[in-house]
Chain A
Amino acid sequence: TQLLEQSPQFLSIQEGENLTVYCNSSSVFSSLQWYRQEPGEGPVLLVTVVTGGEVKKLKRLTFQFGDARKDSSLHITAAQPGDTGLYLCAGAHYQLIWGAGTKLIIKP
């Protein structure tokens, strides 16, 4: 069974701090997606990383795909209350393999 482990499961920090969320697996993925889910809504795609070592930036969010395409990280610089939500990673194999998510709370 393929697993995608996210850490930490829960993170509560003050506005303006930096943070990193990790997504790790022993499996190789053809690509990896990051989604954000807000309460009462479905997940929304933030980014897809495809190439080993790839780095993508979305404003204050930086996504990196590991060289071996088994892991990924999401770094948020100067977190804002609007970043609050559940962050999910999903690795593409035959089907999408989902992590359990990181619940992020940014306190004003």
Chain B
Amino acid sequence: EAQVTQNPRYLITVTGKKLTVTCSQNMNHEYMSWYRQDPGLGLRQIYYSMNVEVTDKGDVPEGYKVSRKEKRNFPLILESPSPNQTSLYFCASSSVGTHDREQYFGPGTRLTVT
């Protein structure tokens, strides 16, 4: 089954404690991205990757890091989480070069930073 998986689904942590949210896709997609979703603000892109070892900032990259060492994985790293990073996070993937670039989303990770 074609899918994007994220772990963990829920995470409560404290300010300053480094964390990683994993993302993996099995569709051989070149393009992967991370979004955060906050009420009234919609989806805002954090980082994206066009292919292995190619990453770039989205609209709200501050406080986040990513890496793309393998095509299927795109982890999101919060080196020193702060309460304003409490949000619902989605990983997504798509094929590059298709006209519509349908995004396939993971189930989401709800992060709370206290």
Compute the total of residue contacts between A and B using a CB distance below 8 Å. Answer: 50
Residues of A within 8 A of B4 (CB): 42
The answer to the question of A85 belonging to the interface, with a C-beta cut-off of 8 Å to chain B, is: no
Distance in angstroms from B89 CB to nearest chain A CB is: 10
**Beta-carbon contact of B92 and A9 below 8 Å:** no
- Number of residues of chain A lying within 8 A (CB) of chain B: 22
**DSSP majority for the B interface?**
loop
Instruction: Report which A residues bind B (CB closer than 8 A).
Output: 9, 30-31, 33, 35, 40-45, 48, 50, 88, 90, 92, 95-96, 98-101
Which positions in B face A, CB cutoff 8 Å?
4, 40-45, 48, 58, 90, 92, 99-103, 105-108
Lowest 3 A-B CB distances belong to which pairs? A42-B105, A100-B42, A48-B100
14 examples of A-B residue contacts, CB within 8 angstroms: A9-B40, A31-B100, A33-B102, A41-B108, A42-B4, A42-B90, A43-B43, A43-B90, A90-B43, A92-B101, A95-B45, A96-B103, A98-B42, A98-B44
